[in-house]
Structure 1
Amino acid sequence: MTTNTRKGIITFSISDKGALYSSYMSFVQNGGLFIPTSRNYNLGDEVFILLKVMEDTSFTPVVGNVSWITPAGAQGNKVPGIGIQFAADDKGATRTSIEQYLGAAINRERPVQTM
């Protein structure tokens, strides 16, 4: 999993199913992803992501809003970062794509980056 953050744009690449599972936020409307970052964001900030998941050959542009913040020094040694809720304009395309990659793993009860 790699992250490159520039002002306004986050490039995020997930190369394996375990990392995708721990980053995916199925519990938010439209789905979302937790993205490790030390950069400061506020809840509701609009974020532009260039996302590459596993076998994707190119980056897909995704728009969302910050719906979760794990600050540096959080309890339980959680990784600092932000949870991005995918925009409604996405019409579920990113959520569907991620859930297809995860398959049956989506129903497992394993720890994730957020909850």
Structure 2
Amino acid sequence: MSADTAAQPGIITLELADKQALYAAYMPFLSNGGLFVPRSQLRGQQLEMGDEVFLLVNLVEHSERLPVAGRVVWITPRGAQGQRQPGIGVQFSSQDGGSTQQKLESLLAGSLESARPTNTL
């Protein structure tokens, strides 16, 4: 994929270096699952609640790229209470059939019940 494709509006490449980064980004409380995307990985895109997006999730530790459609359901603005990282939460589309959610939860087996803070809660 070229850099031009990654910069197209609504297409977001999310780099997750390891299981800890995946744990911090994963949003299991959303129907069909979802991921938090830090503002730094939005490449200047200004997205709003309800916007449709297409995620290309790079799981570096596993040499995988997961494509999934979704929509913006969470926005953490700059200067948010609790020093949270600014960014957006993307809920996976029901058209995915839970495939991405199952894949990510399998990778996070044993971690989902942790009390460690994440990028959203």
Compute the TM-score of the two structures, normalised by the length of structure 1: 0.89
Supply the AA of the counterpart residue of 1:35: V
How far apart are the structure 2 equivalents of 1:8 and 1:42? Answer: 11
Supply the AA of the counterpart residue of 1:75: Q
Number of residue pairs the alignment of both structures matches:
112
Q: Unpaired runs of 5+ in structure 1?
A: none
1:14 to 13, 16, 19: 16
Q: Unpaired runs of 5+ in structure 2?
A: 1-5
2:29 to 7, 27, 37: 27
How far apart are the structure 2 equivalents of 1:99 and 1:82? Answer: 20
After the TM superposition, which residues 50-89 of structure 1 pair with which residues of structure 2 at under 5 Å, given as runs?
A: 50-89=56-95
Question: Identity, % of aligned pairs?
Answer: 46
Q: Provide the aligned C-alpha RMSD in A.
A: 1.6
Contact 2:18–2:61 (CA<8 Å) still a contact in 1? no
1:46 to 28, 52, 64: 52
Instruction: Return the offset for 1:58.
Output: 4.1
How far apart are the structure 2 equivalents of 1:110 and 1:14? Answer: 17
Supply the AA of the counterpart residue of 1:99: E
Compute the TM-score of the two structures, normalised by the length of structure 2: 0.84
Supply the AA of the counterpart residue of 2:49: L
Identify the structure with the greater strand proportion. Answer: 1
